[in-house]
Copies of this chain bind each other. A is one copy, B any other.
């Protein structure tokens, strides 16, 4: 699994290593050591010389990690062109892409480690509790939102965006449902509000349109705004707990 490992490579060795592997592009490459990083594109940044960990994946994505946090200090998603060159006797890695136009430049000052790992195969990964699954479940079992509800459409395109669920209630009123897999905020309320407005505008004037925000919970300010707009909230969880599943007769 370790294809190649260099300890304290010289600039020339490192450049050769990087060029070789970025060409074949069949390994995950890592470089650790002192470097200086600049970025120019959607924004512009510079990082002082320090110890960083670089990761260069097969798909051409680059990330440079500092000691804290999930997010890399600098990065570049799926780069068009990655080149390793020698400048003034030092190895420089440049990762550029167009659309948007941006470049990350890494000046390798004192590299301790460079390695190529065989991490290629994509492997099965499944996730439960996404909004898409919530939507599928509710489309099959709209009674979880409210008895008597009939789903007319999913992902209905309106002029202002896609409506998660479009339905009719027991009394024939149209219902716009906005789903959130996590706690609903102000944002979700306004999203729902503008969908409801769009639907009302399209329907005959006397048609009644309800708006329901379905989420596991809602922030207090958002709940107040929701109330003010005469919209409704319905508690729905993305991941049913064991007891909920039992109570619902195993609908999920």
- Residues on A close to B: CB < 8 A? 1-2, 7, 28, 30, 32-33, 42-53, 55, 57-59, 61, 63, 65-70, 72-73, 75, 77-78, 112-113, 117-130, 159-161, 181-182, 186, 190-191, 194, 221, 225, 238-239
Contact = CB atoms under 8 A, between A and B. Distances in A.
B113 A66 contact: no
A187 to B, nearest CB: 8
Contact of A128 (B45, B58, B70, B125): B45
A1 B112 CA distance: 7
A129 B238 contact: no
A119 B66 contact: yes
20 contacts: A1-B51, A2-B113, A28-B53, A28-B65, A30-B30, A32-B119, A43-B129, A43-B130, A46-B125, A47-B123, A48-B123, A48-B124, A51-B117, A67-B119, A67-B120, A67-B121, A69-B78, A70-B72, A113-B117, A190-B191
A43 B113 contact: no
Given A1-B113, A190-B194, A121 B51 contact: yes
Give the copy number: 2
Contacts of A67: 28, 57-59, 119-122
Contacts of A128: 43-45
A160 B225 contact: yes
B65 A69 contact: no
Nearest to A1: B112
